[in-house]
A and B are shown apart, each in its own frame.
Chain A
Amino acid sequence: MKRTLLVMLSICVVVIPITQIAAQDAFPNRPITIVAPFPPGGVADLTARPVAAAMEKILKNPVVVVNKTGAAGAVGMSFVANSKPDGYTLLMALSSISIIPEADKLFDRKPAYTIDQLVPLALISADPTILVVPASSPWKSVKDFVADAKKRPEQISYSSSGIYGTLHMAMEMLSHAAGIKLKHVPYGGASPALTAVLGGHQEALASGPAVVIPHIKGGKLRPLAGWGAKRVAALPDVATFKELGYDIEFYIWAGMFAPKGTPEPVLKKLRDALGQTVQQADFKDAMTKMETPIAYMDQPEFQKFWEKDARMLAEAIKRIGRIEEPK
C-alpha cells in the first residue's frame, strides 16, 4: 500500500512539471474558452461564435463560447478579469466594459473588476448608433428635434436599453452637445426599448443599424442622424452628427480581451489568430448576414480607441451622476 502510494506520488512529481512545460511550449494545446457576458442571441454572443469558429481552424484547437450572464455583463467580465492569465479564457466584450467600473465608482461600490485587469487583443466590430423616431413623428431632421427639445425641456422622452447602458450614453452625449434636456425612460434591454418606440410610447431612440434598419425599410421608423465618423453604408442619406456640427462620436463595439498578465508570446499568438480570423471568408460572410460591418483593429490601435472611448463614457457617466428620482 505504502509502496503504491510512493510510486504514484513520484509519478506525479515527475509528470506534472513536464506537462506544464509542454503547455508553455505550445500554446494552445487544449480548448480555449471565449466568455460572452450576455445571453445567446445578443451582439456579444453573435460576434463571438463566428470568431470562435474561425479561430478554431487557425489555432487547431477547439474554441468554445460560454455565456456567463448577469448584472448587465459584470458577472462574465469579472469572471475573465479574475481568471488565470494563460490565454485559455478570453472575453468578448462590448462598449459597456468601460461603463460598469465607472458606475461602481459613482455608487462607491467595490468594483466587480477594473479595466486595467484586462488587456485588449483586437476590435472586431464597431457600429455607430442611429437616432430614430417613429415615422408618425413631427420631426423630420435633427434641427426640428433639437429645436422642439429646447422649447419643451424634459418633455420629449426616449427609451434606452437600461440606466447607464450604451443606448443611454449615446443620448446623453447628444443632449450634452446640443444643450437640450430629454426625458429618459430605461427599459430592460435593446429590444424592449425598440418595441416602446414602435408602439409610440416613447418618442426617440438611439440604437444600432442592424436593429433599426428593418423597421426603417418597413416604414415604421425615421432615421435622423448617426453617431459615426462616417455615414452608415446601408443608410447613405442619413447624415452624421459630426456633419451637422455636433462633435460627438459613439459606437457599439465588440472586442476581444484577455486577463492582464497573460504571457506576451501567448498574446501575440492570439492577436495573430484574430488578425487572420477577420480575413476568413466564412467569418466575413457571417458578419455580412448580421449586417454588422467588420471594424478590425489590432492591439495598439484598439488600445488607443478603447482609452478614448472609456474616457468619453466616464465623462458622460459623471455628467449624469447619481439619478435622483423626483419625490
Chain B
Amino acid sequence: MLETLQNLYVGFSVALSPTVLLYAIVGCVIGTLVGVLPGIGPLAGISLLLPASFGMDATSAIVLLAGIYYGAMYGGSTTSILMRIPGEAASVMTCIDGYAMTRLGRGGPALAIAAVGSYVAGTASVVALMLLAPPLASFALRFGPPEYFALLLLGLLALAYMSGGAITKALAMASLGLLLGMIGIDPMTGFFRFHYGLVELGDGIGIVPVAVGLFGLSEILLTAGQEKPPEVIKPRLADLLPSRQEWRDSTWPIARGTVLGFLIGIIPGSAHIISSFVSYAVERRISRHPERFGHGAIEGVAGPESANNSATSGAFVPMLALGVPSGPIPAVMLAALMVHGISPGPLLIQQQPQLFWGFIASMYVGNLVLLILNLPLVGLFVNILRVPYPLLYPAILVFCVLGVYAVNGSVVDVWIMLVMGALGYVLRKFDFETAPIVLGVVLAPMLEMSFRQSLAMSSGSYAIFFQRPIAATMLAGGVALLSLSLLPLLTRGMDWRRALGLSSSSEPEKEDEK
C-alpha cells in the first residue's frame, strides 16, 4: 500500500509537469469534441491524432490519446440527451431516457448527471485499475471463445428488459439487427455474404452509420412529419441542475454502472457499448418503477453513462498489465507506445514505472478536468435547443453526414446511414424500438465469431460450452434471467384467461402466449 502511494506520488509528479498536464487537457478537450460530433467516435479521433503523437515523448503521447478516449465518453452523452443522436456508439442507450428527459424540460439535469456519473465512474475505475490491474488482467485472459459466447448471450438476454414495448417486438428487432450483422466476410470460411458487389460491405455494416441513422435521422424525419412544429424548449437556469430526488435516484445506478462497466471493460474484445446496454438492462430490471424507463428515467442515463466511462479504464487493464489490447482503441494506443520504442508486454509496469504511474495519475487529473469542463458547458449546450427547428435540424443532418463520412471516408457508410434513417422512421411509426437493432448489429459478428471458434476448438461438440466453468456459470445465469422474464408473461396469460372466464388448460393458446 505504501509502495502504491509512493508510486502514485511519482506518477503525479509526472502528470502535473506542465507538458504532460497540457497534453492531458488537450486530449480531454479533443475527446469531448469528438464525442459531441455525431459519427466521429473515440477510435476515429485517436486514429487521426496518432501521427501527431509520434513527435512527443511516450508519456505525453499516451496521456493525450487516453484523454481523447475517456473524453469522448463524456462528450458522447451530449447530443444523445439533447437531440437523440448518439455522439458515439456507446451512448446509444443514453438516447432513450436522456432525450425523453429533454422533452420534459429536464435536459440540463440529464447532462449534469451524465457528467457527474462519468466523473465518479472514471475516478473509481482508475483506483481499481491502479490496485487490481495485474490479477484482473490474468482473469480477463481466461475468457476464451466459449466464455465470450456465453457473455454475449447474456448481453442478448438483456434485451428482454430493454424496451418498454412488447417483448416480441423487441425480439423481432434484435433478430433484424443480428441479420444485418451477418453481412460481410464469413470469418471462418472467407465467403462474402450479402455484399451485392460492394467491396466496402466486406467488413460488414458499421455500427456508427446504423446508430446515427436509426436514432438521429429517424428523429429528424419524425419531427419533420409532425403536423405542428414541436415547441422550442426554453431552458431556465433553475432547471439546469438536478433536483434532490434526481441525485438520490442516480446514486446507486452510478455505483452499479461503475462496477459493471469496469468488469466488462477488462474482457478482451468486448466493447464499452455492451457495458452500457447491460447497465441499462440491470437498472430497468431492479427498478421499482420499470415503467418509467423510456419516459425520462434518470437511472437510464446515470447507469449507462457511468458504465461506458469505467469500461474505458477497464480496457486499459489488459493493455497495461499484459500488453494485450482489449479492443481496437487500446490496440492503437499500444501502437503509439511501440512507435516510441516501448514494447508493450507483461514487463511494462516494472520497466516503465514513470510511464505507467504518470498515466494513472493523469487519468485522475483528466477526469477532474473533464468534470470542470463539462458542467459549465451544460448551460451552453442546453441553449442549442433554443435554435428553431427549421435551422437546427438541417444543421444536425449536415453534421451527421459529415461525421459518418469522416469515420472511414466512405460514401457507402453515408448511404447505410440514410437507409437506416428511413428504416428507423418506418419502424418508429409502427411503434418498434430501434435500440435492439443496434444491439443486434453490435453483437452479431462477435457472437458468430466466438460461437464458431468454440465449435472449431471442440471439433463440433457443443459440450464445450458446459465443460468450462466460467462459460457454464454464465449460461446458467442467462437461463435464470430468461425464465424470470418469462414468468410474468405466463402469469399474465393466465390472468387474461381467467378474466374471460376460460379454462387455462388449453395447450395451443399457451403456445401462442409464449
Most A-side CB within 10 Å, residue of B54, B325, B335, B347: B335
Task: Give B183-224 as 1s and 0s: 1 = Cβ < 8 Å from A's Cβ atoms.
Answer: 001111111100001011111000000000000000000000
CB distance from B335 to the nearest CB of A (A): 3
Near A by CB (< 8 A), chain B positions 414-470 give 449, 452-453, 456-457, 459-460
Q: Which residues of B contact A74 (CB under 8 A)?
A: 199, 202
Say whether A71 contacts B203, CB under 8 Å. Answer: yes
A186 to B47, Cβ gap below 8 A? no
Asked if A49 is at the interface (CB within 8 A of a chain B CB), the reply is yes
CA distance A39 to B43 in the complex (A): 10
CB < 8 Å neighbour of B457 from A41, A183, A217: A183
Known pairs A74-B202, A107-B190, A183-B456; A199 contacts B51 (CB<8 A) = no
B268 at the interface (CB under 8 A from A): yes
Do A289 and B341 touch across chains, with their CB atoms under 8 A apart?
Answer: yes
Whether A71 touches B335, Cβ cut-off 8 Å, given contacts A289-B341, A326-B460, is: no
Count class of interface residues, chain A: 35 or more
A214-B344, A291-B343, A326-B459 known; A41 vs B335 contact (CB < 8 Å): yes
Out of B145, B199, B343, B457, name the residue touching A75 (CB < 8 Å): B199
Report whether A198 and B324 are in contact in the complex, using a CB–CB cutoff of 8 Å. Answer: yes
Complex Cα–Cα for A39 and B457 (A): 29
A252 contacts the other chain (CB 8 A): no
CB-based nearest B residue for A52: B51
Query: Which of B54, B189, B333, B336 interacts with A322 by CB under 8 Å?
Result: B189
| Assembled-state Cα–Cα distance A194/B51 (Å) | 25
Q: Which residue of B lies closest to A68 (CB)?
A: B409
Instruction: Tell me if B47 and A39 are in contact (CB < 8 A).
Output: yes
Q: Are B202 and A71 in contact, CB atoms less than 8 angstroms apart?
A: yes
Interface size classification for chain B: 35 or more
- Residue B408 at the chain A interface, CB threshold 8 Å: yes
A289 touches B323 (CB 8 A): no
Would A188 and B459 count as touching, CB distance under 8 A?
no
Look across to chain A and name the residue whose beta carbon is closest to the beta carbon of B452: A325
A142 within 8 A of B: no
Q: Does B408 lie within 8 Å of A69, measured CB to CB?
A: yes
Contact A70 B189 (CB under 8 A): no
8 interchain residue pairs of minimum CB distance: A71-B202, A214-B345, A41-B335, A201-B144, A289-B341, A218-B346, A199-B141, A40-B47
Q: Can you give 13 contacting A-B residue pairs, CB < 8 Å?
A: A40-B335, A41-B331, A66-B409, A74-B199, A107-B190, A107-B191, A184-B456, A185-B457, A195-B141, A198-B324, A215-B323, A218-B347, A289-B338
* A→B interface (CB under 8 Å): 39-42, 45-46, 49, 65-72, 74-75, 78, 103, 106-107, 109-110, 112, 154, 157, 162-164, 183-189, 191-192, 194-196, 198-202, 210, 213-215, 217-220, 286, 288-291, 322-326
